[in-house]
Amino acid sequence: MYLLFVDESGHPPPPTRKDSKYFVMGGAIVPESTWHKLRDALQGLKIRRKIRGEIKWRYFAPGNDDARNPMRKMSHQERDDIRKDIYGIIRNHASIKCIAAICSIEAAYNRSSVNDQQDVYNLTYKVLTERFQYFLQDVEREFGSKEYGMIISDHRGKDDDKKLRAHHQMLLNAVTGSVSKYPHLIESLLLQPSNMSIGIQIADMIAGAVWRKYERQDSKWFDMIDNSFRRSAAGQIDGYGLIKVPKAGWI
């Protein structure tokens, strides 16, 4: 079985505001047999670096002194060294595959079906989870046996969680041609606080690197895990590991 851990970077703004150009959802596809190795690697890093708390992309910002930030007393260089180590963990586990959906806020709101922030979130989630389903289909074709998957996403709040669960179930049960079928997924969406999930913390770091690549035109951190992203048999990353949302009119 494969686990898809999901987290986002940035926040979908309302249609009347243009705080950012992109909203990113990142995913870490982890085989069940690799999860313990990933956990041990990240926990070992925290012990070596004397980090007691959650790893989050925004905690690496030089000025972030949030009381919950376990690196708040560290220098900018120390934080960057830890970030490099985390991306090294992803890179060193070849079985872990990264995927990310990059939503163009302007293009999304140009669609008649997108009217608010939740619609932006749902659209981006749909595209990301479809690629997980396609990944599972690729595994089945390659190895000749059906592999199943489960999605674990970051807990955001009672109302937001309820909306996302409903959207997830709609995707699984949809019968229209505009929604992919998800025959390889089992159970419903699992929601977990990020501080209690190694996988979601890794997904947050993937989403952050992709967001910075597109929002800030800085690919420094993305380049460290570029080779870990899902690709086609011909090596193409666009549409496979990096998916632009919506495809038509993406800016």
| 51 occurs within a structural domain | yes
d(C-alpha 20, C-alpha 8), whole Å: 14
Within-domain flag for 227: yes
Sheet with 22-31, side-by-side order of all strands: 190-192, 149-154, 2-9, 22-31, 97-104, 242-245
In a domain, residue 157? The reply is yes
- C-alpha 87/C-alpha 100 separation (Å) is 15
DSSP result, 36-82: HHHHHHHHHHHHHHT--S---GGGGSTT---TT-TTTTS-HHHHHHH
CA 68, 217, 222 angle in degrees (round to 5)? 60
Answer whether residue 250 is part of any domain: no
What does the block give as tokens for 12?
């979908």
pLDDT given for residue 202 in this prediction: 98
Q: What is the pLDDT of residue 181?
A: 86
* Residue 226 within any structural domain of the chain: yes
Query: Under a CB-based contact definition with an 8 Å cutoff, are residues 183 and 222 in contact?
Result: no
**132 burial level (CB within 10 Å; 0-12, 13-18, 19+):** buried
Q: How many domains does the chain have?
A: 1
The DSSP element (H or E) to which 97 belongs, if any, is: strand 97-104
Residue 251 lies in a domain: no
pLDDT in tens, 171-218: 988 766 666 789 999 988 999 999 999 999 999 999 999 999 999 999
> Which structural domain range is residue 125 located in?
2-245
Q: What is the CATH number of the domain that holds 45?
A: 3.30.420.10
The answer as to whether 42 is a domain residue is: yes
Retrieve residue 117's tokens: 């922030």
Average pLDDT over residues 78-98: 97
How do residues 22-58 score in pLDDT, each as one tens digit? 999 999 999 999 999 999 999 999 999 999 999 999 9
Q: How many C-beta atoms lie closer than 10 Å to residue 60's C-beta?
A: 20
Cβ contact 45:92 at 8 Å: no
pTM of the model: 0.96
CB atoms within 10 A of CB 66: 12
Asked if the structure places residue 224 within a domain, the reply is yes
